[in-house]
């Protein structure tokens, strides 16, 4: 079977996507597959790379960058009978339902969440509404539109300060990996944080902060949902920003997190509810806050989390008993299974 490994992309998470793709490429079962590299440039151009039949063909993640990729990708190749798309794309134009919609139109099986789960999971405003409906506790928040901010920024600030207490986190509605996110402690920082977030999206979320541990759960499955052991982000600073994640590597992962059994059980329930609320399939990571008095709040979900050497999602499954290599194979099989079920339903409906 041909795997089309698609990575790069137009989002601010372009470089993270390349690193994730590199580690996935090294762990595929090459007895069963050959991998066709498809690199999406920062300008959105799809370029065809070499076919990989042995992981040693690629020695470092820089080999996956533009390099000699000069041929425009022929989308008809995705429609070969024995083929599956594996989009390793983070952020807008990859994790938000857009590329998933392309695969649906082309009738191509693909790894990961579908259109609805990808778009709602990526959008912090919509996902928060779904979590509220599912009965999952959240911290107080407000959604801010760019037009409102431009029209009367002082009124927006007054409204935020009347409903939320500092520290406040300001986030673009559609972005990941802490891109464009600020932790603010006063009005001046709030205004600066809002302006920064609007550089990445025309809709943003402002959310009240909380003193809590940051716990993450990995989710795997289609109709049959499985959750991993929990993991904790242990860091020196309260705010886990982009530099801490990918440049300075100052954040430690405590796996499994040291939590009471009843807290772990509740986290599994909430993670499963979140996955079902967005109509998840394949994989998702659910992020939570757990306070000292054992209150749990969902932060967000990530429908295609990082797969780098420091990424929580594969590490949690490894601690649960599923190796990185077997995890990749399971994701491929889940994508194929979902496609077959959809095809069978379409034939029945005709």
DSSP state letter for 247? I
Main-chain dihedrals φ then ψ at residue 252, nearest 5 degrees: -105, 150
Of 20, 127, 228, 311, the catalytic one is 311
Question: Is 211 annotated among the ligand-binding residues?
Answer: yes
Collapsed DSSP state (helix, strand, coil) of residue 231: strand
Question: Is 124 annotated among the ligand-binding residues?
Answer: yes
27 is catalytic: no
Structure tokens that stand for 107 in this block = 């009738």
Question: Is 213 annotated among the ligand-binding residues?
Answer: yes
Question: Is 207 annotated among the ligand-binding residues?
Answer: yes
Q: Let me know: does 203 contact 144? Beta carbons within 8 Å.
A: yes
Of 13, 95, 216, 232, the catalytic one is 13
Question: Is 178 annotated among the ligand-binding residues?
Answer: yes
Helix (H) or strand (E) holding 147: helix 146-151
CA atoms within 13 A on the CB side of 90: 23
DSSP state letter for 110? B
How many CB atoms sit inside 10 A of residue 81's CB? 6
Question: Is 285 annotated among the ligand-binding residues?
Answer: no
Question: Is 27 annotated among the ligand-binding residues?
Answer: no
Collapsed DSSP state (helix, strand, coil) of residue 126: helix
Q: How far apart are CA 262 and CA 272, in angstroms?
A: 16
How many CB atoms sit inside 10 A of residue 78's CB? 22
311 is catalytic: yes
Can you list the alpha helix ranges (DSSP code H) found in 1-97? 14-26
Main-chain dihedrals φ then ψ at residue 254, nearest 5 degrees: -105, 110
Of 177, 182, 228, 281, the catalytic one is 177
Burial 274-308 (b: 16+ CB within 10 A, else e): bbebbebbbbbbbbbbbeeeeebbbbbbbbbbbbb
Question: Is 12 annotated among the ligand-binding residues?
Answer: no
Q: Could you list the residues known to form a binding site for Mg(2+), using ranges.
A: 287, 300, 302
Q: Could you list the residues known to form a binding site for ATP, using ranges.
A: 124, 169-171, 177-178, 207-214, 299-300
Task: Indicate which residues carry an active-site annotation.
Answer: 13, 177, 311
Q: Could you list the residues known to form a binding site, using ranges.
A: 124, 169-171, 177-178, 207-214, 287, 299-300, 302
């Amino acid at each position: 079977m041909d795997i089309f490994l698609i990575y790069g992309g137009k989002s601010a998470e372009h470089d993270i996507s390349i690193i994730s793709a590199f580690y996935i490429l090294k762990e595929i079962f090459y007895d069963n597959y050959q991998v066709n590299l498809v690199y999406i440039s920062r300008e959105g151009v799809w370029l065809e790379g070499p076919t990989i039949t042995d992981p040693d063909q690629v020695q470092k993640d820089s080999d996956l960058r533009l390099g000699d990729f000069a041929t425009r990708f022929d989308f008809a190749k995705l429609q070969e009978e024995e083929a599956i798309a594996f989009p390793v794309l983070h952020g807008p134009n990859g994790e938000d339902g857009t590329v998933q919609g392309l695969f649906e139109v082309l009738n191509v099986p693909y790894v990961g969440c579908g259109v609805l789960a990808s778009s709602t999971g990526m959008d912090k405003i919509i996902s928060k509404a779904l979590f509220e409906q599912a009965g999952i506790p959240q911290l107080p928040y407000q959604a801010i539109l760019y037009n409102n901010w431009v029209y009367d920024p002082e009124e927006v600030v007054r409204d935020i300060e009347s409903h939320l207490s500092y520290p406040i986190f300001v986030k673009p509605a559609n972005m990941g990996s802490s891109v464009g996110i600020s932790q603010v402690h006063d009005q001046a920082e709030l205004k600066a944080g809002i302006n920064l977030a609007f550089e990445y999206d025309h809709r943003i979320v402002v959310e009240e902060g909380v003193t809590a541990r940051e716990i993450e759960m990995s989710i795997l499955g289609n109709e049959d949902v499985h959750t991993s052991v929990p993991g904790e982000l242990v860091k020196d600073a309260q705010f886990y920003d982009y530099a801490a994640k990918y440049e300075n590597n100052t954040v430690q992962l405590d796996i499994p997190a040291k939590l009471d059994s009843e807290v772990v059980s509740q986290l599994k329930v909430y993670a499963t509810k979140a996955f079902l609320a967005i109509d998840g399939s394949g994989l998702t990571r659910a992020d939570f806050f757990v306070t000292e008095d054992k209150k749990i709040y969902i932060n967000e979900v990530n429908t295609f989390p990082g797969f780098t050497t420091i990424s929580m999602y594969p590490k949690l499954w490894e601690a649960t008993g599923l190796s990185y290599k077997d995890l990749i194979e399971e994701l491929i099989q889940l994508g194929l299974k979902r496609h077959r079920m959809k095809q069978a339903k379409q034939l029945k409906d005709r």
